[in-house]
Amino acid sequence: MTDISRILVVGSGAMGSQIGMVCALSGYRVRVQDISAESLDRAQSQLRSRIDRNVEKGRLTAEERDAAFDRIGFTTDLAAAAGDADFVIEAAVEKLEVKRELFARLDDLCPPHAILTSNSSSFVPSRIADATGRPDRVCNMHFFNPALVMKCVEVVRGEHTSDETVSATVELTRSLGKEPVLLEKEINGFVANRILTEIRREAMFLVDGGYASVEAVDTACKSALGHPMGPFELQDLTGLDIGYYAAMGRFEDSGDPADKPAASLARHVTAGHLGRKAGRGWYVYDEDGNRLGVNES
């Protein structure tokens, strides 16, 4: 990885900010870019709090923390952040038109050697790569939430993606202390989320059909199947909007009505009940993220 030293992460939400810190903790120079200065401020504050807790618990030394924060910067200036980037990880909103426009801009702003990757699991590389003049250097690098903790990273190649790009992305993944899962052909949802989608689909069928409550389904998945979180708890953690847009992406690809988001999920998203980050999703939460009960609305 001697030719990759500067990484640009576009998007400072929960995923983007944590991906940036993972890279900084692994010794890379990192810039996290977002169009919102408020979002960048919030990301820095949340990262400080999380990393400080890791120091308090002995998972990280104060010196390692300080060195990582010295290596990471936050900016609203995409041109300045992209100008010397060797590798880009896009973690913007899950809307295809936004990603295509962003990749076209990155293609113009980044050095010719830079690899452009997307953290999306909703959109495969071929939906984005042709917006650039470097489709051989475009692939997906999909982290899981919370990125600071979860080990799996799915690396997805399209027909256009070069072997060199795949090798560099897999090697970078390993250098971050993550476990790469390589998909040799692109398919919407990749591996983990395709399996998880079927679990969520059945969970919402059981709830929407009146067979069991949200809490009952979550309890069964944890106590009978050994899942660390139930499917509704997990959706609240990752964001209901993420699941909604992912389902819409699958539906747009397949045209199969079965791939459309469940009606109950669509209602929550329309109402702004997006999970913990909104204080209300399948469950209701207080300001500290503690669960108060089931969302009956």
Q: What is the mean pLDDT of residues 211-222?
A: 97
Domain match, 155 and 212 both: no
Domain match, 123 and 268 both: no
Domain match, 60 and 134 both: yes
pLDDT, tens digit (0-9, with 9 covering 90-100), for 103-126: 999 999 999 999 999 999 879 999
Residue 82 or 258, more confident: 82
Domain match, 177 and 196 both: no
User: Taking a C-beta distance cutoff of 8 angstroms, is the pair 226, 219 a contact?
Assistant: no
Domain assignment present for 19: yes
Domain assignment present for 121: yes
Name the residue range of residue 199's domain.
Answer: 192-291
Q: What's the pTM value of the predicted model, to 2 decimals?
A: 0.84
Domain match, 30 and 123 both: yes
Domain assignment present for 282: yes
Single-letter code of the amino acid located at 140: N
Domain match, 148 and 207 both: no
Domain match, 97 and 174 both: yes
Catalytic residue among 94, 119, 122, 154: 154
Q: What is the mean pLDDT of residues 246-258?
A: 85
Domain match, 52 and 176 both: yes
Paired tokens of 60: 């990280």
Domain match, 23 and 160 both: yes
Signed CA dihedral, 79, 51, 192, 163: sign only:
positive
Domain match, 13 and 78 both: yes
Domain assignment present for 1: no
- The residue among 183, 217, 248 that closes a domain is 183
In the chain, the percentage of residues whose pLDDT exceeds 90 is 86
pLDDT value of residue 259: 87
Domain match, 118 and 200 both: no
Domain assignment present for 297: no
- The rounded distance, in Å, linking the Cα atoms of 139 and 70 is 29
Q: Which residues contact 261 (CB under 8 A, 6 or more apart)?
A: 243, 244, 247, 248, 251, 269
Paired tokens of 21: 């810190």
Residue 121: active-site member: yes
Structural domains in the chain (count): 2
Catalytic residue among 142, 160, 268, 273: 142
Return mean pLDDT, the chain.
95
Residue 281 sits in a domain whose CATH number is 1.10.1040.10
- The rounded distance, in Å, linking the Cα atoms of 108 and 104 is 7
Domain assignment present for 47: yes
Phi/psi at 293 (nearest 5 deg)?
A: 160, -175
Domain assignment present for 197: yes
- The residue among 134, 154, 183 that closes a domain is 183
pLDDT, tens digit (0-9, with 9 covering 90-100), for 176-194: 999 999 999 999 889 998 8
- The rounded distance, in Å, linking the Cα atoms of 153 and 158 is 16
Catalytic residue among 119, 193, 268, 295: 193
Residue 143 sits in a domain whose CATH number is 3.40.50.720
pLDDT grade for 2, boundaries at 50, 70 and 90: low
pLDDT grade for 245, boundaries at 50, 70 and 90: confident
Domain match, 161 and 282 both: no
- The residue among 125, 149, 183 that closes a domain is 183
pLDDT value of residue 1: 47
Give CA separation, 133 vs 93, 104, 107, 129, in Å.
Answer: 22, 8, 7, 8
Q: What is the mean pLDDT of residues 60-88?
A: 98
Residue 154: active-site member: yes
Domain assignment present for 296: no
3-state helix, strand, coil in the chain (%, to 5): 50, 15, 35
